[in-house]
Structure 1
Amino acid sequence: MDTENSLAFDGVLFHYPDTKAPALRELTVSIPKGRKTAVLGHNGSGKSTMFLHAVGILRPQQGAVLQGGKALSYSRKELAALRRSVGLVFQDPEQQLILSTPLEDVSFGLRGTGMDEAAIAARCRNVLELLNLAHLSDKPIHQLSLGQKKRTALAGVMAMEPELILLDEPTSYLDPLSEMQMLRGLDVIHEKGTTVVMATHDMNLAYRWADWIIVLDQGTCRAAGTPEEIFAQREDLQAIGLDLPLLADLWYSLPARLTAGEAAPRTAEDFKAVLNRLLDI
């Protein structure tokens, strides 16, 4: 397996107890290092199960999860090292927030690393400021909005400075401002070298945000590639019940003679600019 991948899944099979169909069906897919990757698929396609394997909470019943080209062994020492390098942010922040305030919660994991208090305080301050939570650092967590709770859960993972961050539906149920704040924080840490992966049902978000797409269906990888490559396969996506993002649908509906040689625009601003240029022809 390519060591330029953050993680790779090689023929991973996993059944939950008392279920007929496997949640992962010999899943083979790689998470490329340094990318912003969106994992797409319906409920039950295997997105969350894939993430739980990525941090060693679940173990393959067949196949292997590889890091740096080496299969995980699941010893206590290796799992501890894995969870320092790979962080998972759950869809429901209540599953992740365990202390009374954002500052207490974000600092909790760092204290287990042996870091001195001055360094812990500095790192917590930086992360809270990055996610626009500094003014809420001492506010009781139960008084925070859902968006603030989701950013606090992300801050706790970010404070550990993992190489790879996985987020399960990070923008679900968020208002536009909270979504923007979440995405802005993710972009900043990505620019600093962190690989960021999000599972999402939001095709429009995946199209404009990600630079790599993984499509799961019934526990297998149906496709992986750039947004332009994936969303050009309209029939393949529709066959598994996925819609095209609005901009991609509009773009691929235009006559080919107009769009030939043009890269598919991924934001509304880019779409307007291309249309203006085409209409000037």
Structure 2
Amino acid sequence: MSHRQLAASGLEVAFGQRRVLRGASLEVPSGQRLALLGANGSGKTTLLRTLAGSVRPGAGEVLVDGGTLAFDRAGLKSHRQVVQLVAQNPDDQLFAADVFRDVSFGPLNLGLGEAEVRQRVDHALAVLSIEDLAERPIHELSYGQRKRVAIAGALAMEPCVMLLDEPTAGLDPQGVDEMVAALESLRAAHTTVVISTHDVDFALWWADRVAVLVDGVVHHGDPVAMLSDADLVASARLRRPLVLEAAAQLGVDPTGVTDIAGLVAAVLADAAA
């Protein structure tokens, strides 16, 4: 599903006198995992909503395969079959009585037949490992389960790109593990995945690329290179990932250091040199 290329060019978004995005540009690598980082209020959610077509920029473009998104009924309907946004709070998206009906809502609105809708719902539930919840009332689900159901509802639209706003926020450790498994299942299903997060350690380990929002502008690139940049990380009101901080303190080359195993390998390589 990840054959389409999503990008933004020169996005300007303001709410009243407050400018949130100031010429923000970003390329979302097709078929890869991108983590969007920034402080509270930096514009992460606004950028995701703009990429999804939910916010119309005052200037700049949202592009799919180089074509500009048209903010009219036809353009947005087409765009939402390519790009789906999952909000941080699942209760902003879930409204049906049970899981199956909620996940089937989007495909039904596309005018698909009953057999096709059922196939899409069954597939989405299987990818998220929540087949057993199909007939469960929404109000009986845990917070983590509701988050995964919201993702399943977006996945049932068979988008090329999934945008997830703080998918691990508010989850306990087991819920985080389940969400990470869900994110990996999305990638295995050939879906491009973009998440916003404050967790720099997770972003370093999980993402193929990272984007850092500072003063309404996006800086993006290789996770190690970006998150090793002390000035950039400080300007974004973040911190360097612990393994990169340790690599800096030990004076070893951080290339390839995304977790403890990578740090140990870097230390051993430095000692052997």
Q: Which TM-score tier does this pair reach, normalised by the shorter chain?
A: over 0.9
Match for residue 36 of structure 2? 39
Instruction: Spell out the pairing of 1:105-184 with structure 2 (5 A cutoff).
Output: 105-184=102-181
**2: CA distance, partners of 1:188 / 1:140:** 24
Letter in 2 for 1:237: V
How large is the RMSD of aligned CA atoms in angstroms?
1.9
Give the TM-score, by structure 2 length: 0.92
Letter in 2 for 1:40: L
SS in 1 for 2:193: strand
Of 36-45 and 124-133, more deviation after overlay is shown by 124-133
Question: What's the offset of the Cα at 1:98?
Answer: 1.2
**2: CA distance, partners of 1:11 / 1:129:** 38
Q: Deviation digits for residues 223-274 of structure 1, max 9, x if unmatched?
A: 210111101212221133210111111122212xxx34x7332123333444
Match for residue 49 of structure 1? 46
Change (3 A) 1:280 1:30: closer
Match for residue 201 of structure 2? 204
**2: CA distance, partners of 1:252 / 1:212:** 21
Change (3 A) 1:263 1:26: closer
Contact 2:127 2:186 in 1 (8 A): no
Of 209-218 and 132-141, more deviation after overlay is shown by 132-141
Match for residue 29 of structure 1? 26
Instruction: Spell out the pairing of 1:17-96 with structure 2 (5 A cutoff).
Output: 17=16, 20-96=17-93
1:97 is aligned to 2:129: no
Of 64-73 and 112-121, more deviation after overlay is shown by 112-121
**1: CA distance, partners of 2:4 / 2:107:** 26
**2: CA distance, partners of 1:196 / 1:118:** 27
SS in 1 for 2:19: coil
Which of 187, 212, 231 lines up with 1:235 in the alignment?
231
1:265 is aligned to 2:264: no
Change (3 A) 1:176 1:62: same
Contact 2:213 2:236 in 1 (8 A): no
1:7 is aligned to 2:6: yes
Letter in 2 for 1:239: S
Letter in 2 for 1:10: S
**2: CA distance, partners of 1:253 / 1:5:** 41
1:215 is aligned to 2:217: no
Contact 1:247 1:271 in 2 (8 A): yes
Letter in 1 for 2:92: Q
Of 107-116 and 44-53, more deviation after overlay is shown by 107-116
Give the TM-score, by structure 1 length: 0.90
Question: What's the offset of the Cα at 1:50?
Answer: 0.8
Question: What's the offset of the Cα at 1:280?
Answer: 6.5
Name structure 1 gaps, 5 residues minimum: none
Of 165-174 and 25-34, more deviation after overlay is shown by 25-34
Which of 165, 177, 182 lines up with 1:185 in the alignment?
182
Name structure 2 gaps, 5 residues minimum: none
Percent of matched pairs sharing the same residue: 35
Contact 1:128 1:137 in 2 (8 A): yes
